[in-house]
Each structure stands twice: as structure tokens, then as C-alpha cells.
Amino acid sequence: MSGRTDDPGHAPEVSRWRAFWERGGWWKAVALVVAYYVLYQLGGLLFLPLLDGLEPSSAGALIVGFALPIALGGLLLVAFAISLGWLRELFAPQPIRGRGWMWIAVAVVLIFNVLRFAALDDDSAGLGLVAAWLVTGLCIGFAEEVLTRGYVVNLMRKAGHSEIATALVSAALFAAMHSGNLLDGQDLLTTAVQVLYTFAFGICMYLALRVTGNLIWPILLHASTDPSIFLLTAHPGAGPLTAFAGLGNIAVILFGLLAIIFIRGRITAASSTSFHHEAEPSR
């Protein structure tokens, strides 16, 4: 018997694959992030032969060793969204309003990104490396935000979790991915600080998603963050602006952790189809 129906009063049946993911759940979010991380690491092996003969800190090495693997990860995420029919849904207007104070998250991240670029020693970095980092940043911003503020947030909301739980889980999974730097030989203390920073940054990106109303804006904010941090670290300019711009990570950590206290809301059946409806505030 066919699963289709011509009765306009009934919604068409969906595949078991899509129905499984439509129910959402935090454990599905965890499984998806783990699967992405493993595939990203395996994908990176495909590009290793192309690194031969490239200077480790060159623009070419950055593109081949970092941008291409994460771009491949982004393509896998898009393919997954297409298989679920979620591509438009992920980039649709948010079904829950942001609050005015959430713009602080956008301001803190954006202001320090601009300051870091302004404090950069352009002559030392070179146009080629800056351009390579901007391309890499776009790949990072797209893949990591689609995964954590796109899929993870969507899965948490579909399961009926509160917005505070949604924010915490999306930020925690984002931070957990960066703990994998231990496998690349990064020391424990540096990794611990990085995990704390990425957790707080994840909270800021969740707030940016809420207050701007669309996933594209956290993607762009994220895309400008990694290049500004890594370029300033490797090619700092002289003068007090460099020292002040270097406080950006501390500012993000402090605000991100403090902001958790004020996150409220829960998606309701009505708000799933309208940006202007929201459940009574709840933690």
C-alpha cells in the first residue's frame, strides 16, 4: 500500500530517515557532531599529499591543510541537510525572538575582531596569507556554525528542550570539538583555556543567532574571528592597540559565561512556524 495520500487534509508521509531526525534529541546532536569530527579528520588525510613542498606557515599550506578539509566537511553537512529536506529550514528566520541585551554578544565579538585586524602588522603577514585566512575563516564559520548553531540547535528544539539547554549543549559540543587539539600535540593547559574560550564563544554565537534571527550572521561573525585571532598572534603590530585587541578572548569568556544566567525561552508549537511567538520565559 502506498505511503502517499492525495487528501489535502493530510500531510504527506516522510521517510523513516527524516522522521528519525525530526524527533530531535540531545544524543542525536552528540552523535552528529562526533560523526562530523571523525569524517573531518579522515577527510584531512586526503589532502596530506598536497602539502609536500609547501612551507608550513605559507598561504598554500593553510588552504590545503586547513581550508580544504573543513570545506569538505561543510559540503558533507549540506548534503546531509538536503537528505533531510532541512537546508531551507536551517537558514529560515528563527522561530523565537532575541532580546535587546543579546546584541552585546554581537558587539563584543565584532569590535574585537575589527581591533585585531587593525592592530595586525600587514607588511609582516602579507596579502597572500591574509587572503588565505579570510577564505579559511569562511570555511570554518560555515561548517562549524551550520553544525552547532544549525543542526544542534534544531535537534534540541525539535525535542522540546528549553533555550538555556539548547544554548549550553550547542556551546559544549562546539568546545568539545576543540579538545581534539590534544591529539595534535597541543599541551593540556593551552587546550583547557581554548575549550573554555570556545564554550563562551559558542554562547555568544547562540545569542547572535537569536538576536539577528538568521544563521548567516553567526557564520559571518565566526568567519572573521579565527583569521583575526591567528593573524594577530603570528603577526602583531607595534603599539598599545595590539595589547588592547589581545583582550578580546577574555572579554568573550567573561560575557559568554555571564550571559548564561539571562537566557530564557522555549519553542512552542505555535512558534515553530512564526518568528513572533515565544513560550513564557523559562530557564
Q: What are the pLDDT digits (tens) for 54-96?
A: 998 899 999 999 999 999 999 999 999 999 999 999 999 999 9
Is 211 a residue whose pLDDT tops 50? yes
CB 177 within 8 A of CB 37: yes
Is 269 a residue whose pLDDT tops 90? no
CB 134 within 8 A of CB 226: no
pTM summary value: 0.90
Closest residue by Cα to residue 211 from 163, 162, 250, 246: 163
d(CA 79, CA 215): 17
- In terms of phi and psi (left: phi > 0; alpha: psi -120 to 50; beta: otherwise), the region of 185 is left
Residue 110, SS3 per DSSP: helix
| Mean pLDDT across the chain | 91
d(CA 223, CA 232): 15
d(CA 219, CA 104): 17
What was the pLDDT predicted at 226?
A: 97
d(CA 125, CA 139): 20
CB 241 within 8 A of CB 119: yes
What was the pLDDT predicted at 111?
A: 98
Residue 108, SS3 per DSSP: helix
141: burial class by Cβ within 10 Å (0-12, 13-18, 19+)? buried
Residue 266, SS3 per DSSP: strand
What was the pLDDT predicted at 13?
A: 63
What was the pLDDT predicted at 275?
A: 41
Q: Is the dihedral of CA 82, 87, 90, 95 positive or negative?
A: negative
d(CA 236, CA 125): 9
CB 191 within 8 A of CB 167: no
CB 61 within 8 A of CB 51: yes
What the block records as the C-alpha cell of 249 is 578572548
